[in-house]
Amino acid sequence: MPDAKSPWTPPEFGALPQMAAQSLPQMLQAMTGLGFAGSGLLQLQQDYLRDAAALWNEATHAADQEPPKAPADRRFAAADWAGHPSSAFLAGMYLLNARTLLAMTDEVQADEKTRQRLRFAVQQWIDAASPSNYLALNPEAQRKAIETKGQSIAQGMQHLLHDLRQGHMSQTDESLFEVGRNVATTEGSVVFENELFQLIEYKPLTAKVHARPLLIVPPCINKFYILDLQPQNSLVRHALEQGQRVFLLSWVNADESIEHKTWNDYIEDAAIRAIDEVRAISKQETINTLGFCIGGTILATALAVQAARGERPAQSMTLLTAFLDFSDTGVLDLFVDEQMVALREMSLGQGGLLKGQELASTFSFLRSNDLVWNYVVGNYLKGETPPPFDLLYWNSDSTNLPGPMYCWYLRNTYLENNLVEPGKVKVCGQPVDLGAIDVPTFMYASREDHIVPWKSAYLNTKVLSNKLSFVLGASGHIAGVINPPGAKKRSHWTNAKLPATADDWFKGATEHPGSWWPAWDKWLAAQAGPLVAAPKTAGDRNHKPIEPAPGRYVKQRA
């Protein structure tokens, strides 16, 4: 080993990093068949050799100085990685290779979408190749195996077999949760149902309620109880506490009996039907409406269809992290092109089911280190049982969709963005013009949302026209929405003006600490009419309670 004070020279360094610097571009080019821009690639190779040399010197001089520090990555944060020079070097070289490969994708000579797809594919390969994912290379898992005399490995195998039997990876201890027992527990009754949905009316929590009720349309690609997880983080319960009379559409988990249902069916026989039933029960000409994610797209489409029929059943609309304009769908755009959509239409367009687990896996791999490999290491290599977490239990409770409905949605939104062009498509026999939805609208987006990027959600302000409010919250697609005031977490931004671009809106916005829910409460109260005595029973003589909330539809497993 050279003297710790002597400078590094190439002969001491060895040939391996030089070979890697030359072979990484060749490997990537062989995988993709794409060429590189020359000058940028040369700089990347020089940077790679410099950084690899630093890692080599740190590893080979470890005996003469302090042990190397663990890389700044939570996968290698345990002391076991820094405690072994070879493990620290392995982790450091892995991270260097990862950075270099990702930087190389920016030098590929291709159009932007191809580069983005390549970057996503390379990222997936990088995440899977982490030394932390393999028992033979993970010193932390090895130490635990020794300390437990092999019990951690045996327990990990049991977890793996359990997950293989249940058909998905456990992200939490699912045995600790049950829908209706400790999630989705807000009291209410199912007051209407058909083959697509159940309508839940929740029991008021105040002596008086606003006369005009609120109908919530949750996403059909997930279970509704993301909005009613626990009492302390339930948006449903919060609305009830504010004196709102709350109804909610609970989607069926599609099976073969409805595998031919279309987008038209979901609009006419679900969204519009739910609106009509709530109006009938509440005896109100107009109601307030809320749509979350694809539920917002469904709700807006339904209101546009009704507007084309000369009907105005909504007093207001709230959209939570929802697309109307699909011109920039962020990372999900990587998966959608004509070939992919045509293939889906061939396999599912005339009938069949899009399996919920397929959608769940896709969304998990958008954040594969957090939602996939983290559990491979914890569950299988270390034999740990994941801690209880209601949101991750919900995340694993996937739902199926009818193939024809999904295919129409895929082509007319993500691929062709037809809904945003007035009259471009017909739904339920009516030309769709979202601009004809002439109601006050509250729009919420999350700043770190990778499903509905906030700047894309801001485009909704150009689609709609009447009395628009736009609020931006911190965090992501789910955590940003489910942010109760009592938690005193995060912050949100408001700006009464709606300039042409999202960036200009943000420049003029004011940041407020805490939840955005109180801002919505104030806005919704102004749309909800006078306070009246709360109903003593659910439904009416034409809508007798069928069963207690949350109903049996939400309990159906995919």
DSSP per residue, 128-185: HT-GGGSGGG-HHHHHHHHHTTTHHHHHHHHHHHHHHHHTS--SS-GGG--BTTTBS-
Contact present, 502 and 482 (Cβ < 8 Å): no
Q: Choose among 368, 296, 336, 409: nearest CA to 133.
A: 368
With 0-12 CB in 10 A as exposed, 13-18 as middle and 19+ as buried, what is 186? Answer: buried
Strand 188-193 relative to strand 547-548, pairing: antiparallel
Q: How far is CA 464 from CA 300, 324, 551, in A?
A: 10, 9, 34
Task: From the candidates 220, 293, 407, 428, give the one annotated as an active-site residue.
Answer: 293
Bridge partners for 193 per DSSP: 198
DSSP-based three-state secondary structure for 433: coil
In sequence order, which residues have a C-beta less than 8 Å from that of residue 433 and are 6 or more positions away? 304, 307, 308, 422, 423
In sequence order, which residues have a C-beta less than 8 Å from that of residue 222 and are 6 or more positions away? 293, 394, 397, 398, 399
**For residues 510 and 300, what is the distance between their CA atoms, to the nearest angstrom?**
28
Contact present, 498 and 505 (Cβ < 8 Å): yes
428 is catalytic: no
Q: Choose among 434, 420, 497: nearest CA to 465.
A: 434
Q: Choose among 382, 385, 387: nearest CA to 151.
A: 382
DSSP secondary structure letter of residue 125: H
**For residues 151 and 25, what is the distance between their CA atoms, to the nearest angstrom?**
42
Give the start-end residues of each E strand in 160-267.
Answer: 188-193, 197-202, 208-210, 214-217, 246-251
**In the chain, count of helices (H) and strands (E)?**
22, 17
Contact present, 235 and 515 (Cβ < 8 Å): no
**For residues 448 and 210, what is the distance between their CA atoms, to the nearest angstrom?**
34
DSSP secondary structure letter of residue 392: H
Catalytic residues: 293
